[in-house]
C-alpha cells in the first residue's frame, strides 16, 4: 500500500489524511522509498531529512489534524530559508549555510501541517546556471529552471507538493518540461520574506503538484485565501486564445497544443475567442528582462562584490548588464509595466481567462541550460496568476501543455478555468 501512496494527488491525500484513512508516516515512507529508488538518476534534492520527517509524521499521526496540509510531504526549493536544513541558494558561496529561521512560506506550510522532506535543487540564485537535476520524463533533457528540483521531484512521484518561485519563468517552464501542474499566483499573494531575493518587482512564491486542485490547496494554505479550495463549479469558463507577440518563436508542438486546446474546449462547450495583443506591448518581454537584471544586480551586490570568482560567467554578465541600466531607464521600464497592467484588463473583455504557450516546445536536449522563459516573461512582469496545465505531448513524446492566465487578483477564477480544462483535455 505505501508504495502506491506517492502516486496520488495532494488534494486526495489531504482528504484521506484528515479522515485518518491513511497515516502521515506511511505517506512519508512511500515518498522516501521512491527517493531511494530514483534520486541517483534524477538528482532532484539538495538536502534530505528522512528521520526528522518520520518523527514529524509520527507526531501528526498521534495528534489532531493540524491544518490544510496535514501530513503532506513537501519539497522546498533551495531558495527558501530553512532553520533545520542547509540553504545554499544554488551557489557555492553559501555551501553549508544554515539560516536561523524559516522563510515565511516554509513556516506557513509547516503551520498548516506539511512535513518538509528536504530542499530541492535550484539554479544559481534562481537564474540560469543549472544544477544537476535531470528531467524525469527522459534522461539527457533539462527539467527547466529555476525550480528544477521541485518540478522533477513532483513529476517523479517523490513528493506530492513542492514550493517554487518565479521571477521570469521559473515555475511555469519547469512544470511544462516535466509534465506537472505549476501555479504562479498573482504578484504579492504570498509573502517572500526569507526567500533569497532576486527582483523586488517580480519575485513570486508558488508551487507544483500533479493537479490543479493540489496547487490550489497549497496556495490556500500559503495565502489564507480559502476560496481557492472551492474551484469546482458548474459555470463554463470563456477562454481567450492568446498566441502572444512571441508566437513566431513557438515550435510545432506548442502550436499543435494550442490548436488541440481550441478544438477540445469548443467540443466541450466552452467559448473560445482569439485575443490579439497590440503591437505596442510586444516589447514587454524585454522590459521584464531589464527589470530583472537591474534588480538582481542590486539584490546580489554583496555576492558580486565579495565572491565574484564563485559566480557563473552567465550570472556575472547579467549582473553587469543590470548595473549598466540607469535609474532613469529603470523608472521608465517600471512606468511602462504599470501602464500595461492598467491596460491589460481589456484583454479579458470577451473572456474569463487567457490561454497561452508555457514554453517554446518540449524540454530541450542537454543539461547545460534550462530553456528559454520567453513565453513567461510578459505575464511575470504584469503580475498575473498563471497555471500550467499539462494535457498533451510533443513529437518525441515529452510533455506539452499551455498556461491559463487570469486577471490580477482573480486567482480563484483562473484556477477554476484551469481545473475545468484539465478535467476535460487531460483525460481525453
Is there a catalytic annotation at residue 77?
yes
Say which of 165, 170, 199, 392 is annotated catalytic. 170
Q: Which residues pair with 339 in a beta bridge?
A: none
Say which of 91, 119, 122, 146 is annotated catalytic. 146
**What are the structural domains of the chain?**
2-229 (3.90.1300.10)
Task: Write the pLDDT tens digit of every residue in 37-72.
Answer: 999 999 999 999 999 999 999 999 999 999 999 999
> What would the 3-class secondary structure string for 304-371 be?
HHHCHHHCCHHHHHHHHHHHCCCHHHHHHHHHHHHHHHHHHHHHHCCCCEEEEECCCCCCCECCCCCC
48 phi/psi in degrees, rounded to 5: -130, 150
Question: Among residues of the chain, what percentage have pLDDT more than 90?
Answer: 98
* DSSP string covering 253-294: HHHHHHHHHHHHHHHTT--EEE----GGGTTHHHHHHHHHHH
Task: Write the pLDDT tens digit of every residue in 145-184.
Answer: 999 999 999 999 999 999 999 999 999 999 999 999 999 9
141 phi/psi in degrees, rounded to 5: -115, 145
Q: Which of 144, 150, 89 has the alpha carbon at shortest distance from 116?
A: 150
Instruction: Tell me the three cell numbers of residue 18.
Output: 484528515
**Residue 87 near residue 119 (C-beta atoms within 8 A):** yes
CB neighbour list of residue 191: distance below 8 Å, 6 or more residues apart: 104, 105, 108, 205
pLDDT higher than 60, residue 2: no
What's the pTM?
0.98
Task: Write the pLDDT tens digit of every residue in 349-402.
Answer: 999 999 999 999 999 999 999 999 999 999 999 999 999 999 999 999 999 999
DSSP symbol at 184? E
CB neighbour list of residue 269: distance below 8 Å, 6 or more residues apart: 236
Q: Which residues pair with 354 in a beta bridge?
A: 240, 405
Task: Write the pLDDT tens digit of every residue in 301-326.
Answer: 999 999 999 999 999 999 999 999 99
Say which of 77, 119, 196, 213 is annotated catalytic. 77
Is there a catalytic annotation at residue 146?
yes
**Residue 69 near residue 38 (C-beta atoms within 8 A):** no
pLDDT higher than 50, residue 1: no
Task: Write the pLDDT tens digit of every residue in 106-146.
Answer: 999 999 999 999 999 999 999 999 999 999 999 999 999 99
Amino acid at each position: 500500500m505505501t508504495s502506491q501512496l506517492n502516486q496520488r494527488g495532494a488534494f486526495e491525500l489531504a482528504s484521506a489524511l484528515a479522515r485518518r484513512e491513511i497515516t502521515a508516516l506511511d505517506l512519508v515512507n512511500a515518498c522516501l522509498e521512491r527517493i531511494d529508488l530514483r534520486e541517483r538518476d534524477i538528482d532532484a534534492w539538495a538536502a534530505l531529512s528522512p528521520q526528522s520527517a518520520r518523527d514529524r509524521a509520527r507526531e501528526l499521526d498521534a495528534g489532531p489534524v493540524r491544518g490544510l496540509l496535514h501530513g503532506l510531504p513537501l519539497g522546498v526549493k533551495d531558495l527558501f530559508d530553512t532553520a533545520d536544513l542547509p540553504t545554499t541558494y544554488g551557489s557555492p558561496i553559501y555551501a553549508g549555510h544554515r539560516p536561523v529561521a524559516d522563510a515565511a512560506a516554509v513556516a506557513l506550510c509547516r503551520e498548516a501541517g506539511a512535513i518538509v522532506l528536504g530542499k530541492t535543487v535550484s539554479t544559481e540564485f534562481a537564474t540560469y546556471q543549472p544544477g544537476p537535476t535531470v528531467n524525469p520524463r527522459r534522461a539527457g533533457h533539462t527539467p527547466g529552471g529555476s525550480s528544477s528540483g521541485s518540478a522533477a521531484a513532483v513529476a517523479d512521484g517523490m513528493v506530492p507538493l513542492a514550493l517554487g518561485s518565479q521571477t521570469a519563468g521559473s515555475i511555469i517552464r519547469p512544470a511544462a518540461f516535466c509534465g506537472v501542474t505549476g501555479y504562479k499566483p498573482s504578484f504579492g499573494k504570498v509573502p517572500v520574506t526569507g526567500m533569497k531575493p532576486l527582483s523586488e518587482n517580480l519575485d513570486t512564491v508558488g508551487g507544483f503538484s500533479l493537479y490543479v486542485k493540489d496547487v490550489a490547496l497549497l496556495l490556500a494554505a500559503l495565502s489564507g485565501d480559502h476560496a481557492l479550495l472551492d474551484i469546482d463549479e458548474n459555470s463554463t469558463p470563456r477562454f481567450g486564445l492568446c498566441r502572444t507577440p512571441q508566437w513566431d518563436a513557438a515550435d510545432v508542438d506548442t502550436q499543435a497544443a494550442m490548436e488541440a486546446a481550441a478544438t477540445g474546449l469548443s467540443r466541450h462547450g466552452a467559448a473560445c475567442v482569439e485575443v490579439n495583443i497590440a503591437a505596442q506591448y510586444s516589447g514587454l518581454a524585454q522590459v521584464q528582462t531589464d527589470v530583472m537584471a537591474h534588480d538582481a544586480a542590486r539584490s546580489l551586490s554583496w555576492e558580486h562584490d565579495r565572491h565574484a570568482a564563485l559566480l557563473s560567467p552567465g550570472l556575472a554578465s547579467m549582473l553587469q548588464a543590470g548595473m549598466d541600466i540607469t535609474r532613469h531607464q529603470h523608472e521608465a521600464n517600471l512606468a511602462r509595466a504599470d501602464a500595461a497592467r492598467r491596460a491589460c484588463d481589456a484583454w479579458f473583455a470577451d473572456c474569463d481567462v487567457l490561454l497561452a504557450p508555457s514554453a517554446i516546445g518540449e524540454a530541450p536536449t542537454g543539461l547545460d541550460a534550462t530553456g528559454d522563459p520567453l513565453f513567461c516573461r510578459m505575464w511575470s512582469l504584469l503580475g498575473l496568476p498563471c497555471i500550467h496545465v499539462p494535457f498533451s505531448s510533443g513529437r518525441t513524446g515529452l510533455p506539452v501543455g499551455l498556461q491559463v492566465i487570469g486577471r490580477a487578483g482573480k486567482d480563484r477564477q483562473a484556477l477554476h478555468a484551469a481545473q475545468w480544462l484539465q478535467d476535460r483535455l487531460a483525460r481525453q
